[in-house]
Structure 1
Amino acid sequence: MRTVLRAAALGVSVVCVASLAPVQSNASSHREAPLIAGTPGLDNTDLYAFVSPDMPDTVTMVASWQPFEEPNGGPNFYPFLEKTAYDINIDNNGDAKPDITYRWTFRSSYRNAGSFLYNTGPVTELGDGDLNFRQSYSLDRITPAGTKQVIKSARVAPSFTGKASMPNYGAVSDEAITAAGKVTSFAGQSDDPFFADLRVFDLLYGGDLSEVGEDTLKGYNVNTIALRVPKGDLALKGNVTRNPVVGIWSTTSRIGASMKGKAPVLQQVSRLGMPLVNEAVIPVGRKNEFNVSKPATDAKFGASVISPEVPKLIEAIYQIPAPATPRKDLVEVFLTGVCKACGPIAADLNSQMLNKDVVKKAFVPSEQLRLNMAVPPSDSPHRLGVIGGDLAGFPNGRRLADDVIDVTLQAAEGILLPNPPDAVKTLGDGVNGNSAGFRATFPYVALPNQDSVNKQ
């Protein structure tokens, strides 16, 4: 167990190294690339995947879009976009291609287009006639065998316009939880689950780590999609016992006009797997390229992984020596998952190579958030995940409360390597948890904030 913990945690350090910059910006992909920063409704902010703590025979995946939603952002507030595919992709055989894609597409309408109001009176339920702007969605499950519609028309939880307009928003939000057989889905506004001091971009906290501790994301909301499915729905050949590891990433694609006799063309514009990759690992000149790329082509970004920029910056600003390169351990954590046959980390944790029915010759290294579904939920979750001795946490998947920033800072600087500098042991952004409490049950995310951010 100690070997597994150390190795897996080392992987985290690796993960972090490559992701250090936004490490501190726990907002994994808030405005991470030049083009997507100008179209926030298409911007993936975070992706989470974990074994459901209250239903351990299932997995919950949570993906968020549209960063920095100020609560009082009327009159139009924050809709999901039409003519857009919001996808969560699963690779269970390690070939870096989606074996399963869950796709949400949205429709919008107004009850009274003659009014400027989002709601024309107090809204007490999803079907309330005073909710002027309404959204619904369909959910499809796409595999090489074809497309199956899981949900035909489900209601979206509206943006929280205020206590006068929505006196019991929690009840309205809960109405948007839709069950279809063993699958449960939610789409709507929520508090931004990520917590971090984003002053990291001011020369890594201005060169003074004593000036950390402000949760820059406090009070902001995001648009969130959550999905809970049986583990067997994700596992290779449906067999969780033989094939417990899956890789997951979310994408946003714009749907173009359909041609006669052909399906509408999809253009991918945003992508997110492991947190912080596009923000801190990929250089600015290639960030847009990463957002439109497919995992199967990730080898072209390898140089940024084996020789990451962040540790060099920390060495220059804080005089903490950067770990030696090339970072082959980073390659393992980011591109293959952790397994004894994958690289230098002597542990088996979360690579699809551990699945017994995987064709190893067909395995393709690629950037994904990997989850070993055989690891049960922790009775005492640790915010530092694997590095804190909790194998159910990041980077084995990612839970809402996992403190990616602190893990990244310390691990990236070698906390698990022999004789790390004493300074590494105290690294952190001073923000150890989310400002809002998470829900105990699906969809787990906290309800959206209502007070203006400048009042926080």
Structure 2
Amino acid sequence: MTTVKWSARGRASLRALICGALAAGGLAAAGVTTSLAPGAANASSHREAPLISGQPQYDNTDVYAFVSPDKPDTTTIVANWLPFEEPAGGPNFYRFAHDARYDIHIDSDGDAQGDLLYRWTFEDHVRNGDTFLHNTGPVTALDDPDLNITQTYDIELLRLRNQHVISTTKIAEDVPVAPSNVGKASMPDCAQLREQAIRQLPDGGAAFAGQADDPFFLDLRVFDLLYGGDLSEVGRDTLKGYNVNTIALQVPSDHIRQSAGQPVIGVWSTTHRRNASGGWTQVSRLGMPLVNEVVVPLKAKDSFNASSPWNDADFLPFVTGPELPKLIEGIYKIKAPAEPRNDLVSVFLTGVKDLNQPPNVRPAEALRLNTAIPPSAAPKRLGVLDGDNAGFPNGRRLTDDVIDISLQVVEGELLGQKNDLGDAVDANDQEFGDRFPYVALPTSGSDGTSARGSRSQLEGGATELTASAAGGDGTLLAASLAAAGAGIVLVGLGLAWWRMRRRGRGVL
């Protein structure tokens, strides 16, 4: 196999370019308008399919599954919905849908059929309908009368056999949801509200539902003319400052292993929405990150969201003959690995042999976790690729850099084509917690500039680019940036001249 070699400077900037191809499906985004405001974008199943992109309350964004670092006899599953929540997005802010079923599926024997299903259903409560306010004063507790709009949820545990329900048990009822972080005046102690929203379950586990910082981290500015058209937009977490709605579950690992006699579980989430006839229709599905995003083509994305893992053989050709490596080869001349890509089948569909592949596995898109592997004392962001077998693709921890891992695997890392590709975003902007539910607190609505980035951050991006430009003409790039800066100065002078003229006419 050919080994891909890069200079240090070449890796620093080209890794951002290649990840741009990953996030955009290789689209050279000619004609895309620039914007400093938060906008529609794609991430790990953030608005990944045409139909669900218009239904954010029902849109799964990410799923995480890992052995709990502080309670290694338990497994934690985190599933997120409602992407790109602007923290100051009032007056209604962000709620789970009351006409939906939010499900977490667990396959304990590798046959691509759920054996356990945890189901969340939500109910809205409004104290005073005669005001537009989400809260009428500072909220210091979940039962504070100043919290005008609240939600509660029930959890049901369904046991299944051959895709048929054999029993249903309600394990939690009328549990309060942690509200959106409206702002510092409205929510003076968001951490306290988070703590109150954690519910202990009868089996010794715990549950949480509420708003959280989006834990996924990556640079998505490929849509702005391929990272600004001159690589001036690289290495910044595009999801910084955005929140999501989170459901988290912690359960004893023995309970979800069932009696399968082996420790590997498969995990995925789905959303069902009530339809016009009163029944339920599956509208979203997510297990492994990036599969529906960049592996499944546009024509099949909505079908994938409505399907079950049992039928994933229908999508196998998109994994064994992926589009992305061909796009990368066409754009960046990095030779695509030979097909069929059975290495990708093991990562995304079956689990890796002797790591997280269950016996007699049926290929299916599910996040596979070996619950017998203890948590790492010092987790490495590249997980298994860096010798940390407790990380992705063995489950997924909040700190795992799935963009860099997936990109390196797609470009043949497991086939001997060593590379160091990535997007130059290596960690989340917020620190994760050290205990359940582990996700970071949501960004406050008071921090109105957090999602956009401050002026100093934007200017810093240009400086960073000059220092870490590709192994090409750095002088030309610096000159281009200097010209852009001069243009900004000229525009500023022009605006000042225009305002002075208008003042002279008595307009201002």
Q: TM-score range by the shorter chain?
A: 0.7 to 0.9
2:355 maps to which of 339, 344, 349:
349
Matched, 1:94 2:110: yes
Q: Is the contact made by 1:137 and 1:152 (CA closer than 8 Å) also made in structure 2?
A: yes
Contact 1:192 1:220 in 2 (8 A): yes
1:27–1:46 Cα contact (<8 Å) kept: no
Aligned to 1:44: 60
List alignment gaps of at least 5 residues for structure 1: 1-15, 259-263, 340-347, 354-359
Q: Distance in 2 between matches of 1:231 and 1:123?
A: 36
- The residue aligned with 2:413 is 415
> Could you tell me the percent identity over the aligned residues?
58
Residue 350 of structure 2, aligned match among 326, 332, 336: 336
Q: What's the secondary structure of 2:152's corresponding residue? A: strand
* 1:282-329 deviation digits (Å, cap 9, x = unpaired): 000110000000111111111100111111111111111111111012
Q: Which runs of structure 1 show a deviation greater than 6 angstroms over 4 or more consecutive aligned residues?
A: 22-26, 206-210
Task: Choose which of 158, 165, 177 in structure 1 pairs with 2:198.
Answer: 177
How far is the alpha carbon of 1:418 from its aligned partner? 3.0
1:255 aligned to 2:274? yes
Scaled by the length of structure 1, what TM-score is found?
0.86
SS of the residue aligned with 2:156?
Answer: strand
Q: Give aligned pairs, total.
A: 412
- CA deviation after TM superposition for structure 1 residue 168, in Å: 0.7
> Letter of the aligned partner of 2:258 in structure 1?
L
Contact 2:221-2:233 at 8 Å conserved across structures:
no
Give the equivalent residue in structure 2 for 1:398: 396
Q: Find the aligned partners of 1:83 and 1:176 in 2 and give their Cα distance.
A: 22
Distance 2:205 2:68 in 1: 13
Aligned pairs (5 A) from 1:125-136 = 125-136=141-152
Runs of 5+ consecutive residues of structure 2 not aligned to the other structure: 1-17, 27-40, 161-165, 455-508
Matches within 5 A, 1:43-442: 43-144=59-160, 145-181=166-202, 182-201=204-223, 205=227, 211-237=233-259, 242-256=261-275, 265-339=279-353, 348-353=354-359, 360=360, 363-418=361-416, 420=418, 424-425=419-420, 427-442=421-436
The answer to whether the 8 A contact 1:102-1:142 is kept is yes
Aligned to 2:8: none
CA distance in 2, matches of 1:400, 1:82: 27
- The two structures, once aligned, show a CA RMSD in angstroms of 2.2
Shift of 1:419: 5.2
CA–CA distance in structure 1, aligned partners of residues 65 and 112 of structure 2: 18
Larger Rg: 2
Say which structure, 1 or 2, has more relative contact order (CA 8 Å, 6+ apart): 1
Equivalent position amino acid for 1:199 in 2: R
Maintained 8 Å contact 2:81/2:244: yes
Inter-partner Cα distance in structure 2 for 1:51 and 1:228 = 9
1:20 Cα deviation from its structure 2 partner: 4.0
Change in 2 beyond 3 A, CA 1:204/1:413: farther
| Shift in Å, 1:255 | 2.8
Distance 1:455 1:309 in 2: 33
The residue that corresponds to 2:466 in the other structure is none
Cα displacement (A) at 1:216:
0.5
Report if the CA contact (8 A) 1:247-1:371 is conserved: yes
In structure 2, distance between residues paired with 1:196 and 1:370: 22
Partner Cα distance (2:369, 2:22) in 1: 21
Please give the alpha-carbon distance, in whole angstroms, between the structure 1 residues aligned to 2:279 and 2:314: 25
Instruction: Tell me the amino acid that sits aligned with residue 155 of structure 1.
Output: P
**C-alpha distance in 2, partners of 1:416/1:211?**
30
Tell me the distance in 2 between the aligned counterparts of 1:100 and 1:84. 19
The alignment partner of 2:51 has SS state of helix
Give the Cα separation in 2 of the matches to 1:167 and 1:440: 22
Give 1:9's aligned residue.
none
Q: Distance in 1 between the 2:228 and 2:89 partners?
A: 31
> What is the CA distance between 1:411 and its match in structure 2?
2.2
